[in-house]
Amino acid sequence: MFEKLKSNLKKKRVNLKIKTLLFGNNVREGVVIKIIIYLLLSAIGFIYLYPVLYMLSNSFKSPSDIVNPMVNWIPTALYFGNYQRAFRVLNYFSTLGKSLLVTLVPAFFQTAVTSVIGYGFARFNFKFKKPLFVIVLLTFIIPPQAYLIPRYVMFFELNLLEKPWAIILPALFGQGLNSAIFILIFYQFFRMIPRSLTEAAEIDGAGPYYIFFRIAVPLSAPAYITSFLFSLVWYWNETYISSLFLGTRFPNLQIALANFVSQYQQMYQSDAVKLNEGIRLSATLLIILPMLFVYFALQRWFVEGIERTGITGE
Amino acid sequence: MNKKKMSRKARENLIGYSFIGIWIIGFLAFMLVPLLTSLVYSLSEVSITGTGIVVTFHGFKNYKNIFQIEEGFVFTESLVNFVFKELIFQLPIIIVFSVLIAILLNQKIKGRGFFRTVFFLPVIIASGPVIKELISQGAGGTNIFETYGFISVIENTLNPALAEPIIKIFSEIIIIFWFSGVQILIFLAGLQKIDKQVYEAAKVDGAGAWQAFWKITLPALSNLVFINAIYTIVLLATFSENKVIVNIKNNMFNFRTGYGMASAMAWIYSLTVLLLIGLVGLIARIGSRRSRRSF
């Protein structure tokens, strides 16, 4: 009888152990739950990346692979013909240069200028500071359509249309793409710098500009890097304003992609190879390639940047 | 004025404005003046002549025309479609999806960094032309859902008026998910701020994971839901393939409508978007009051 009880107890304990291992307890998570999480993340991750994988796979397919129903993900041979054509139709390097001009330069100015503005709001108490800051935040939600037409007319009269200045100038005055977000990022970041630090410098006779350039800016390198990268990516992917202001006379890569089909038909009018998805997707991949490089080289600045800049607020 | 005589307050005013002055100039030149000008345009006939732009005031004619001429009908239809067939479905999908992914990413798992990289990737590449290209080549989700007969099931069970937008959403579902990159990271940052001890205390009190989610996690995220909802609306409303804004741009260069009517459309669109954001704000306020009460 005693033996039976003992073995029963043992069984129960083993059962409990297995249960804990699988489903976890108060202290640790079980294996089953872990596996479910991994499965979910991998499955959703795959679906999420499906367009990119599809693009990659098809861009290397020869015309015969594309129509062959037996070829699914992996092409029978790596075929670079699509890229050759896409390269020529996009006029890649020249267009890339234009793209870089209208992304790097405004991103640089936007980061620099919004940091100055953010610092002003974070450090000084001036008249109308609160209402002005509310207006800064409001500019984020006002749809650009409400002011783009007169801006277009203004740039037309100043003879700035179809020139990179049409994109750079607003950035230079803190009115670039999503400027409000960057002002907010810098505002949050500069507020985290301890007051005692700047006060000590003030006592030593440092002026406000000296403190900004010599103390605040060097301490805020992460905010600068994150802001610059976000600004870069947003300018790179923005097409509504750039196609309006730059038009087809100053085509960047995005505009070139939007006009890809007609451009292709013009260049390869009498060609045997009709425009197929392989060519179109290789062109698409060429457009995103530069930013993919930037992302994989500096991805931690993107994904950690959002937390570090404290945009989620307190 | 002598520097010493200047009061501390005046000095701080001056310094403060020297930092934000450039923003004020920019705001006036590139935002406020254009905003007012476009309001004037929307109430005028704007014609382009050899010497420049001629603006003749003619009241609400442009606004009335939106309900009277062909271009106006196209515009209102695209606006109604955007609000009632796209935004109304996409906004909750994006918010729920990003909360879900953020919670999964917040678990103690290996390869968190990898998954985070994956889920943020679309932010880097999702431009209008790229997404248009991907959808037109069937990479937006049509392929996956067609293979499993999902779409025909919806077609056969729901009435056509409802089935049409739902099918459209499923054929672009991956792209809709793609709009969640930034929101996921914002939610993730919020989740990491929740004190682990709160969960432990709840567990001791006998709360399950389900209850913990509704009573701890969600209320802690409620502010971020609001921020992300606004971010999402702005993102969708300014996305360059958005039919409404494409329409406004086309009407700028249409001689029958021109800058005047395009401005009127732009104002109607802008007010609609602001109204939607206000509505979200209202819902968020009521929601947060209720969740606080249940605590």
Domain ranges of chain A: 2-59, 85-308
Predicted confidence at residue B109, as pLDDT, reads 85
Predicted confidence at residue A308, as pLDDT, reads 65
Task: Report d(CA A6, CA A1) in Å as an integer.
Answer: 9
Instruction: Name the residue facing B133 among A127, A136, A257 (closest C-beta).
Output: A257
Confidence of residue A107 (pLDDT cuts 50, 70, 90): very high
Predicted confidence at residue B168, as pLDDT, reads 79
> How many angstroms separate the most distant Cα atoms in chain A?
102
Q: Please, what is the average pLDDT of chain B?
A: 87
User: Is the pLDDT at A103 greater than 50, yes or no?
Assistant: yes
Ramachandran class of A106: left when φ > 0, alpha when ψ lies in -120 to 50, beta otherwise: alpha
Instruction: Name the residue facing A142 among B108, B117, B270 (closest C-beta).
Output: B270
Across the interface, do B263 and A238 touch by the CB < 8 Å criterion? no
Report which of A29, A43, A45, A57 is spatially closest to residue B114, judged by C-alpha positions: A45
Confidence of residue B160 (pLDDT cuts 50, 70, 90): confident
Q: Any bridge partners for residue A24, and if so which?
A: A29
Q: What value does the mean pLDDT take over residues B187-195?
A: 88
% residues pLDDT > 90 (chain B): 49
Per-range mean pLDDT, top range of B201-205, B235-239, B288-292: B235-239
Chain B contacts in chain A segment 172-231 (CB below 8 A) = 172-175, 183, 208, 212
Task: Report d(CA B253, CA B35) in Å as an integer.
Answer: 19
Predicted confidence at residue B32, as pLDDT, reads 96
Here the tokens at position A70 are: 């037996």
Q: Which residues of A touch B53 (CB under 8 A)?
A: 153, 157
Confidence of residue B41 (pLDDT cuts 50, 70, 90): very high
Confidence of residue A301 (pLDDT cuts 50, 70, 90): confident
Query: Which has more pLDDT, B244 or A30?
Result: B244
Here the tokens at position A71 are: 């070829």
What tens digit of pLDDT does each residue of A34-86 get? 888 899 999 899 888 988 999 999 999 988 888 888 877 888 888 898 999 99
Q: Which residue is it, tokens 């008026």?
A: B161
User: Is the pLDDT at B224 greater than 80, yes or no?
Assistant: yes
Here the tokens at position B166 are: 């739902």
The CATH code of domain A85-308 reads 1.10.3720.10
Q: Which residue is it, tokens 């567990």?
A: B203
DSSP state of A159: T
Nearest CA in chain B to A42: B115
Predicted confidence at residue A182, as pLDDT, reads 94
What three-state secondary structure class fits A62? coil
Contacts of A199-206 with C-beta under 8 Å, sequence gap 24+, read none
Here the tokens at position B58 are: 């003619």
Confidence of residue A276 (pLDDT cuts 50, 70, 90): confident
Predicted confidence at residue A131, as pLDDT, reads 96
Nearest CA in chain A to B262: A149
Nearest CA in chain B to A57: B139
Predicted confidence at residue A4, as pLDDT, reads 76
Predicted confidence at residue B295, as pLDDT, reads 47
**Any chain B CB within 8 A of the CB of A158?**
no
Q: CB of A98 within 8 A of CB of A248?
A: no
Q: Which residues of A touch B257 (CB under 8 A)?
A: none
Across the interface, do B133 and A280 touch by the CB < 8 Å criterion? yes
Chain B contacts in chain A segment 73-92 (CB below 8 A) = none
Q: CB of B95 within 8 A of CB of B183?
A: yes
**Any chain B CB within 8 A of the CB of A102?**
no
Across the interface, do A124 and B16 touch by the CB < 8 Å criterion? yes
User: Is the pLDDT at A165 greater than 90, yes or no?
Assistant: yes
| Shortest Cα–Cα distance, B154 to chain A (Å) | 20
Residue type, B211: Q
Q: CB of B26 within 8 A of CB of A138?
A: no
DSSP state of A313: -
Task: Report d(CA B272, CA A86) in Å as an integer.
Answer: 40
User: Is the pLDDT at B102 greater than 80, yes or no?
Assistant: yes
What tens digit of pLDDT does each residue of A277-295 get? 889 999 999 999 999 999 9
Q: Which residue is it, tokens 């810098």?
A: A186
Predicted confidence at residue B84, as pLDDT, reads 92
**Any chain B CB within 8 A of the CB of A52?**
yes
The residue extents of the domains of chain B are: 8-57, 62-126+179-293
What tens digit of pLDDT does each residue of A222-262 get? 899 999 999 999 999 999 999 999 987 888 999 999 989 88
Q: Any bridge partners for residue A29, and if so which?
A: A24
Predicted confidence at residue A314, as pLDDT, reads 44
Q: What value does the mean pLDDT take over residues B188-206?
A: 87
Q: What value does the mean pLDDT take over residues B254-278?
A: 93
Query: Which has more pLDDT, B205 or B162?
Result: B205
Phi, psi of A29 (to 5 degrees): -85, 150
Q: What share of chain A is helix, strand, coil (3-state, %, to 5)?
A: 75, 0, 25
Here the tokens at position B260 are: 């005047």
**Any chain B CB within 8 A of the CB of A134?**
no
pTM: 0.89
Q: What share of chain B is helix, strand, coil (3-state, %, to 5)?
A: 80, 5, 20
Q: CB of B223 within 8 A of CB of B217?
A: no
Across the interface, do B266 and A51 touch by the CB < 8 Å criterion? no
User: Is the pLDDT at A312 greater than 70, yes or no?
Assistant: no
**Any chain B CB within 8 A of the CB of A303?**
yes
Confidence of residue A135 (pLDDT cuts 50, 70, 90): very high
Give the up-direction half-sphere exposure of residue A229: CA atoms within 13 A in the CB hemisphere: 24
Predicted confidence at residue A248, as pLDDT, reads 77
Predicted confidence at residue B135, as pLDDT, reads 86
Per-range mean pLDDT, top range of A115-119, A222-226, B290-294: A115-119
User: Is the pLDDT at A166 greater than 90, yes or no?
Assistant: yes
The CATH code of domain B62-126+179-293 reads 1.10.3720.10
Q: Which residue is it, tokens 């009498």?
A: A270
Mutate one of B24, B101, B124, B250 to test the A interface: name it (highest A CB count within 10 A).
B124
Task: Report d(CA A312, CA B146) in Å as an integer.
Answer: 39
Predicted confidence at residue A22, as pLDDT, reads 63
| Shortest Cα–Cα distance, B13 to chain A (Å) | 4
State the complex-level ipTM. 0.89
User: Is the pLDDT at B287 greater than 80, yes or no?
Assistant: no
List CB contacts of A169: < 8 A, sequence separation 6 or more: A160, B30
What three-state secondary structure class fits B44? strand
Predicted confidence at residue A27, as pLDDT, reads 53
Task: Report d(CA A48, CA B44) in Å as an integer.
Answer: 47
Q: CB of A291 within 8 A of CB of A236?
A: yes
What tens digit of pLDDT does each residue of A184-219 get? 999 999 998 898 988 899 899 999 999 999 999 999
Report which of A252, A183, A235, A181 is spatially closest to residue B124, judged by C-alpha positions: A235
| Shortest Cα–Cα distance, A181 to chain B (Å) | 10
Task: Report d(CA B84, CA A105) in Å as an integer.
Answer: 39
